[in-house]
Structure 1
Amino acid sequence: MNISKILLIIMLMQLMLASVSLAKEPIIASAITEEPANEKALLPLPAVSLLPINEDLLAILTQLKQASIDEQKIARALEQLTLATTPLNAAEQYLLLVTQALFKENAIANGVEHSSHNKQSREIIVLLEQALKLSAQISAQQLHQPNFLQLHLILAVHYAQQGQFDLAYLEKKSYLKKYYSYRKAKRLAMIASLEQSFTVHDKKASNSLLASQNKLKIRRVAEVQEQKATQQYNFTLIISTAIVFVLLFFRQLKIRNKLIRLTRTDALTGLANRSALFEHGEHMVASFIEQPEELSILLLDLDHFKKINDDFGEQVGDEILRVIAQLVKETMRSRDVFYRLGGEEFVAILPFADSNKAKAIAMRINEKIAQHDFSLLILQSRVTVSIGVATMASNKLTFEQVLHCADLAMYQAKELGRNSVVCYQNIAQAQERRGNTNSVK
């Protein structure tokens, strides 16, 4: 599953938990503030420095929360508020931007907006970020109220949809912090209201005491439920975060391994490339020095490959290289390793193979390629290779020296008319015999 989808699901789960907690809050508050029928209402809560809010704006907010809305009526009301001659205070401007964002969300949900989903989401984010800039002019008590708090929830959802999960997390965290502060302030206000009510109703102290005890019990139950919900939310958040980090880690590991393979693989044939050849070859030579065993190298070069490219095009030449690579792999032993050195040259490392075994394998490769029908690719049905064989007989040689010997043998095969196999040991012996003959003369 895509990582961004997983993170979006996690964010939605968190929003659902918070919404459930917020939905329970009015019920608990009404239970606590409920008065017996024969008692007077509690005294009003102490006033705080809150900016006044336009009643029409609050009415629009209420309508937007309903299941079905009159979009044209709301659009006209928003236009009137926007064009009103009376300037709006900071709190009203803040709520107006939130209302516009909610209205745009409803329009998107009902299919009224036809632009792309990402563009719509970015437009909502711009509105809400403008509202956030007004926070400095609004008191903390007012910003902690539900109508103002919903901005963070909406912004968190759209940040997540844009793939900005860090910002979504911060908005969610800001929402929870303000929400808990709002709940705490409300509880303290309720307690202050109750205390003030008790002083006014001294004559009914016994009844008030029983009522307050009942309210406190309800309150404790509500707090316990809230604590459980908070613990469950925190646990879900921790587990979700851990899962996301594990998925990201394995994804990065997979990408890293793929990049390593690409740096060691020839893109055309799928064989190990020149870099892997020299790394593995040096390792094999080092193993030979520590524990001497037969080790041979084959160097293959396609005959007249430049002419094939000139006559039929590089695309056909590439396809021939792929076919040659497959034919050689089918012929070699399971322990042998085949590489593409570059261009039309290939190298095979044959562990536990002396000169005779290596030459026999080279002959089989030569015959298989010569017998293969290439008529589907080129007019001439036959493609041949020249192969040089070199066997490591001394631990004083390096891998590059052995490869050079195989290269000399391959050029000798070219000079002999191509489509042949030449062992470097035969060349060395012939040179040695000529040297002895010359010295005798």
Structure 2
Amino acid sequence: MRKYSWLKTITLYLFTISISTVACADEIIGQQQVFNNIDSLSAKQQKSIVALAVNNEILSLLTLSVYDKAAAQVKLLALQELPLTVNIAEQYLLYIVRANISDIEGQEHKVINWLNKAIKLEPLLTKKQLDTPLFSSAYLTLADIYARQGEGKKAYDTKRLYIKKYFAHLNHQKELSVKRLDEKYNIEKKHEENELLTQNSQIKHYALASAEAERSEQYLNIAIFIAAVSVFFLLLLRQFKISRALKLLAKTDSLTLLPNRGAFFSNGYNFMTRALLADKELSVLMLDIDNFKSINDNFGHDVGDSVICHVAALASETMRSRDFFARIGGEEFAAILPDASIEQAHAIAEHMREKIQDDISMYKNNKIRVTVSIGIVSIADVRESFDSLLHAADMAMYQAKINGRNQVCSFAKEKK
């Protein structure tokens, strides 16, 4: 009896376990039939031509899954126990719900799996319904998951799809609003015509405004360019004038405005080199104001400066256009006479001496008779260097002073 009783107990236990297992399996299969029956039915159904209705319970569950995953999980399990048949749109949203519930750290692959299942249903739904925020949110969530996984390219592409759907939805909503207004007031045709006219007017206005703005900008740029070039040119011209003035000042005597000693020597070397190479005549003249120290002592330095300037002016008047006349020191002047023999140089010097001697001018109410001593030399007599030539003219000038002043002496005669 005990043996049969033990066997009966084991048999009842195994039967109970078998019944429980079958019940659980039936429950799971039932749930899958309720929420996953689209996997088996999608092949039989054609694409929907209108937006499918969505149960309010599923809509509230979708909202809850975003803010409270635990409560959404409980409500999902409760919903699965109801004899509820879902359409493709509802199944799409239930996949999004499951993705939202699974959206925790470390479970990203589950989220991607649920969302990909939802996306697979898109061929059976209308584009307008898929573009709504309820359905397009799957792409936004998927983009966030890819970004968290470091898959930038996938995240970028998925986000672009979401944005495209979002703007398509906005355009559709705008079209619906316009259509309702057109239907309400029965002015669709007139509105379209007015809109077309408005758009054309706006396009023309924009084109005109753009062309005018571009033209104004071009004029402004041209004006700025011309102004900049003008300023640059003026600055360059001013700099050139300043540079030229500085160079001229560096070569000009400040009192008489004649070339100074440096300019005289610089030009003298060039004149002598050309004369020697071309085997032409060249003479040099040296002039010194007689008794100039007495003029300074008796009448003052201002009168002395006036005398120097006056002598410079008178002597310059006797120069030929090709001659080079300069002040080389206090009361000393010198001239380079190209193509002039010693006789021609003597004639020029004598004319200069007489012109200065015959001019009696008033200097601050004082009549002063000024005379000069002049020495001349020709390249025919001194050919070593310009310094030697000038030194010879200087010697001839001092000989004129020794001889009594107010006369012209040539180096050639003195040497003889």
Q: TM-score range by the shorter chain?
A: 0.5 to 0.7
Aligned residue in 2 for 1:364: 351
Residue from 371, 375, 394 that aligns with 1:384: 371
- 1:292-441 residue pairs with structure 2 within 5 A? 292-377=279-364, 379=366, 381-393=368-380, 396-429=383-416
- Distance change (3 Å), C-alpha of 1:287 and 1:202: same
Measured after TM superposition, the shift of residue 306 of structure 1 is 1.2
The yes-or-no answer on 1:201 pairing with 2:188 is: no
SS in 1 for 2:360: coil
TM-score normalised per structure 2: 0.52
- 1:192-231 residue pairs with structure 2 within 5 A? 200-203=177-180, 204=182, 207=191, 209-210=195-196, 211-231=198-218
Residue from 255, 265, 279 that aligns with 1:278: 265
- 1:139-150 residue pairs with structure 2 within 5 A? none
**Conserved in 2, the CA contact under 8 Å of 1:273 and 1:341?**
yes
**Counterpart residue type for residue 400 of structure 1:** D
Measured after TM superposition, the shift of residue 213 of structure 1 is 4.6
Deviations 1:197-233 (A, max 9, x none): 7664343476264344543443333223222222222
- 1:27-176 residue pairs with structure 2 within 5 A? none
Deviations 1:72-92 (A, max 9, x none): xxxxxxxxxxxxxxxxxxxxx
Equivalents in 1 of 2:225, 2:261: separation in Å?
A: 47
**Conserved in 1, the CA contact under 8 Å of 2:281 and 2:341?**
yes
TM-score normalised per structure 1: 0.50
SS in 1 for 2:327: strand
Aligned residues: 237
Equivalents in 1 of 2:233, 2:250: separation in Å?
A: 26
**Conserved in 2, the CA contact under 8 Å of 1:274 and 1:340?**
yes
- Distance change (3 Å), C-alpha of 1:199 and 1:249: farther
Equivalents in 1 of 2:248, 2:259: separation in Å?
A: 9
Structure of higher RCO (CA pairs closer than 8 Å, 6+ residues apart): 1
**Conserved in 1, the CA contact under 8 Å of 2:381 and 2:412?**
no
**Counterpart residue type for residue 374 of structure 2:** I
Task: Return 5+ residue gaps in structure 1 as ranges.
Answer: 1-192, 430-441
Measured after TM superposition, the shift of residue 413 of structure 1 is 1.3
Measured after TM superposition, the shift of residue 376 of structure 1 is 4.0
Residue from 236, 241, 246 that aligns with 2:233: 246
- Distance change (3 Å), C-alpha of 1:312 and 1:214: same
Instruction: Provide the aligned C-alpha RMSD in A.
Output: 2.6
**Conserved in 2, the CA contact under 8 Å of 1:312 and 1:378?**
no
**Conserved in 1, the CA contact under 8 Å of 2:382 and 2:388?**
no
Equivalents in 1 of 2:283, 2:312: separation in Å?
A: 19
**Conserved in 1, the CA contact under 8 Å of 2:382 and 2:389?**
no
Deviations 1:366-419 (A, max 9, x none): 122112113444745311111111111167421110000011111111111211
Deviations 1:155-200 (A, max 9, x none): xxxxxxxxxxxxxxxxxxxxxxxxxxxxxxxxxxxxxx99997664
**Conserved in 1, the CA contact under 8 Å of 2:306 and 2:363?**
no
Equivalents in 1 of 2:274, 2:342: separation in Å?
A: 19
The structure with the larger Rg is 2
Identity %: 40
SS in 2 for 1:374: strand
Equivalents in 2 of 1:415, 1:378: separation in Å?
A: 31
Task: Return 5+ residue gaps in structure 2 as ranges.
Answer: 1-169, 183-187
Deviations 1:245-273 (A, max 9, x none): 22222222222222222221111112111
